Structure 1
Amino acid sequence: MVMIDMADAVVDEEDQYERLLRRANVEDLTEVSGIGCLYQSGVDRQGRPVIVFLGKWFPANDLNLDKALLYLIHLMDPIVRGDYVIIYFHTMTLSRNYPSLRWLREVYNILPYKYKKNLKHFYIVHPTIWTKMMTWWFTTFMAPAIKEKVHNLPGMEYLFEIMSPDQLEVPAYVTEYDMTINGTNYYQPEHYLQNST
């Protein structure tokens, strides 16, 4: 009996995602796409698409989060059919940019298995103590399937082990901040990515 209920729950989740995908493909999402906080930026050295998310540009308190979810699905659905990488820039992000953990959990639960399975790495650039604590909590209790895929990086240059600099498009404030806190020539390629969680 429990097996049937769980199977029904999986079907319901798939139906919910398919409904959201249909909406994402017909609704006007310019309110969210125009912000520029989520986009594809080239490919990594293995040819996998790289998705960039700019925390500073995500107006969590002023944005229709339903539309934000639809835009995420619209952008990501064709990409997550294969392997992909996400880079989250926490650079100069303020508390008003943080979505609630409840909303993040809902989004994580709505997204089908292919999102989790095909995610190869999730890099957090310029993390803070808060970000590290929340990431640990989220990946330990809510999203253990991606825990080993999350890496905290203190600077942008660590990304260049995984992708060519000409494949990474970020706003000037990110590189300026990076140079301000790290200086120039700070990068020491000591396999940092393998030990960065």
Structure 2
Amino acid sequence: MEGMSEIDFEKLAEIELRKDEAENAELEGSQVSFASVSNGDAEISPTHPYYDVARHNILHLVGDDNLGRKVIAFSCCRLPPSYQLNHRRLLEYLKYALDQYVENDYTVVYFHYGLNSKNKPSLSWLQSAYKEFDRKYKKNLKALYIVHPTNFIKIIWNIFKPLISHKFGKKVIYLNYLSDLRDHLKYDQLKIPQEVIRHDENLRTKQKKKPLTAVKTPPPRPPLPTQQFGVSLQYLKAKNKGELIPPVMKHTVSYLKRKGLKAEGLFRRSASIQSIKEIQKLYNQGVESSLRVMICREILHGLPEQNYAVLKFLICFLHMVSQESIFNKMTGSNLACVFGLNLIWSPKGTPSFSTLVPINIFIGLLIEFYPTIFSSRSVPGEQLP
């Protein structure tokens, strides 16, 4: 998408929004309409300094997440048509409202449904908004959940990608259905607009009506020998030579004894959800991941030239797919489940269930660490996707 002007992106975004509107109209059997002003939430006093914006209840506090952090929701379905809303005032109001929470950790839920060609802010407004939400607002934002994302979101992401830091990008989590919020938030506390709930139900109904395809869902993976999370204490005890205290707990407490006892505000602020998941993944894989990568590289160096070239071409593409997992939901682990047995054949015929785990781990490492594993060997005239 290089070389495209802001006008081109604006037109592309407009096209995608109109597609969304058409799909939603087909899904719901009627045209998209704007929500009423009150929306069933607490009434806003006419003396509110931003009454002209606040009365729409676009932004509202909806309880806590699973770690006790305040959750603030932004509902696009409550945005009135652009000619009825001063977007500069909207930005000022957003900052005014967030100022009440940004001194402590907080999370944001963005309900995308309801954004359309009539109420969407311009790209220049979005750019100025991102710049005005400086470090004060981004520092303690621990997660940004985007519910019901569409291709419009992908376009916006591509526009802002050069501006967004890697650290902030890791805080963005895409959720296709409202039920996915249950893994992160106290769902029963959420004040979800009825329009969003109906849209979610329509999406689920449509999904159920889709014809079955030949693509098989990968079977659930048994726990790794080094699994630390999602398993019982008894499992950890058996895998750690009878130790009663789980290794991750021992390592964490040991580190805090050495480094954290005098740290101001210890435990007051929590890490981002993405960082927590990455650490859990490393523990589940064993802390010898770098050694595994080195061994993988040595194994591949023994392959004949053409076999290596073909494998490198495929894994390069799968790595590219995994990099877009926020949209396609195919992480390196998921891809390994699909491709593992197609790339490694057992000399004894049908592999046993126990061999699936090491095969999938091996292919998953090739996909996830592709740049490191394949960087040390090239082949004449090699082609990459």
Spell out the pairing of 1:160-171 with structure 2 (5 A cutoff).
Answer: 160-171=182-193
Higher strand share: 1
The superposition leaves residues 50-92 of structure 1 with CA deviations (integer Å, 9 ceiling, x where unpaired) of: 1111112223622112211221122100201111111111113
Secondary structure of the structure 1 residue equivalent to 2:102 = helix
Residue equivalent to 2:195: 173
Distance (whole Å) between structure 1 residues aligned to residue 48 and residue 67 of structure 2:
34
Percent of paired sites with the same residue: 33
TM-score normalized with structure 2 length:
0.40
Question: Do structure 1's residue 45 and structure 2's residue 66 form an aligned pair?
Answer: yes
Residue equivalent to 1:126: 148
CA separation of 1:149 and 1:71: change in aligned 2, threshold 3 A: same
Question: Do structure 1's residue 32 and structure 2's residue 53 form an aligned pair?
Answer: yes
Residue equivalent to 1:79: 101
Higher helix share: 1
Residue equivalent to 1:153: 175
Distance (whole Å) between structure 1 residues aligned to residue 56 and residue 119 of structure 2:
13
TM-score normalized with structure 1 length:
0.75
Q: CA deviation at 1:125?
A: 0.6
Instruction: Tell me: higher relative CO, structure 1 or 2? Use CA pairs within 8 A at least 6 residues apart.
Output: 1
Q: 8 Å contact 2:62–2:189 — kept in the other structure?
A: yes
Deviation >6 Å, runs of 4+: none
CA separation of 1:35 and 1:151: change in aligned 2, threshold 3 A: same
Q: 8 Å contact 2:77–2:196 — kept in the other structure?
A: no
Secondary structure of the structure 2 residue equivalent to 1:42 = strand
Q: 8 Å contact 1:122–1:151 — kept in the other structure?
A: yes
Distance (whole Å) between structure 1 residues aligned to residue 61 and residue 112 of structure 2:
17
Q: Which one is further off, 40-49 or 142-151?
A: 142-151
Distance (whole Å) between structure 1 residues aligned to residue 61 and residue 158 of structure 2:
25
Residue equivalent to 1:15: none
Name the amino acid aligned to 1:28.
Answer: P
The superposition leaves residues 91-148 of structure 1 with CA deviations (integer Å, 9 ceiling, x where unpaired) of: 132122221221122122222312111111111111111112212432x122225211
Q: CA deviation at 1:28?
A: 2.5
Q: CA deviation at 1:170?
A: 1.0
Spell out the pairing of 1:112-123 with structure 2 (5 A cutoff).
Answer: 112-123=134-145
Q: Structure 1: which 5+ residue stretches go unaligned?
A: 1-25
Secondary structure of the structure 2 residue equivalent to 1:121 = strand
Name the amino acid aligned to 1:90.
Answer: H
Q: Structure 2: which 5+ residue stretches go unaligned?
A: 1-46, 209-219, 221-229, 231-273, 278-324, 328-385
Q: 2:79 aligns with which of 51, 58, 83?
A: 58
Q: 8 Å contact 2:75–2:193 — kept in the other structure?
A: no
Secondary structure of the structure 2 residue equivalent to 1:28 = coil
